[in-house]
Amino acid sequence: MEKIITHSAQETKTLGQAIGQVCRGGEVFYLSGDLGAGKTTFLQGLAKGLGVNSSVNSPTFNILKIYKTKKGSAVKSFCHIDAYRLIGAKDLEALGIKEILADKDAVTAIEWAEKVKSVFPKNTIKIKAKHITDNEREFAIDDKR
Ligand SMILES: Nc1ncnc2c1ncn2[C@@H]1O[C@H](COP(=O)(O)OP(=O)(O)OP(=O)(O)O)[C@@H](O)[C@H]1O
Ligand SMILES: [Mg+2]
């Protein structure tokens, strides 16, 4: 388990970007932490590191959004899910989560992951975001691979 404190949203994006840059495809990220803890901000950086050019926003209203990465990227797509409004894992199964998680060219990240625990494979990368002060956030990273 590694704990990193960031001091701005930009620093959090840079952390996410560094992690995105070393992904090879098939990685699954489990994001937990309170409202405003920095999950989406982290994933905006992660997406950039994967090679996504378009801006990643909170997918709260559409639950699941798939972004294509730019040509030549190791990872072909990024699937961003926000489980906040879901009741449980069955809701994600209806959206085809099994097929998405099986795609070795894709990286998937799920916010409010604790709501849909049972969909995660064993080799999940768990990230717990925590609000410390106005501008400080802690990211506890537990890589189960
Ligand atoms: N060090 C920091 N890291 C990340 N965000 C920060 C930091 N400092 C301040 N912020 C601010 O905190 C907010 C984090 O919001 P963000 O949408 O990333 O949280 P979230 O965990 O995804 O929340 P939600 O549960 O609502 O989806 C943003 O407004 C961001 O600018
Ligand atoms: Mg969010």
Q: What is the pLDDT of residues 59-87, one digit of tens each?
A: 667 799 999 999 999 999 999 999 999 99
Q: Is the CB of 138 under 6 A from ligand 1?
A: no
**Nearest-CA residue for atom 11 of ligand 1:** 9
pLDDT at residue 59, as a whole number: 67
Ligand 2 center to residue 72 CA distance, Å? 28
Go through the domains of the chain in sequence order and give each one's CATH number: 2-143 (3.40.50.300)
- Which of 144 and 14 is assigned the larger pLDDT? 14
Specify the residue with its C-alpha closest to ligand 1, atom 18: 38
What are the tokens at 13?
């994006």
Q: What is the mean pLDDT of the chain?
A: 95
Q: pLDDT (tens digit, 9 = 90+) per residue, 77-114? A: 999 999 999 999 999 999 999 999 999 999 999 999 99
pLDDT at position 135 is 98
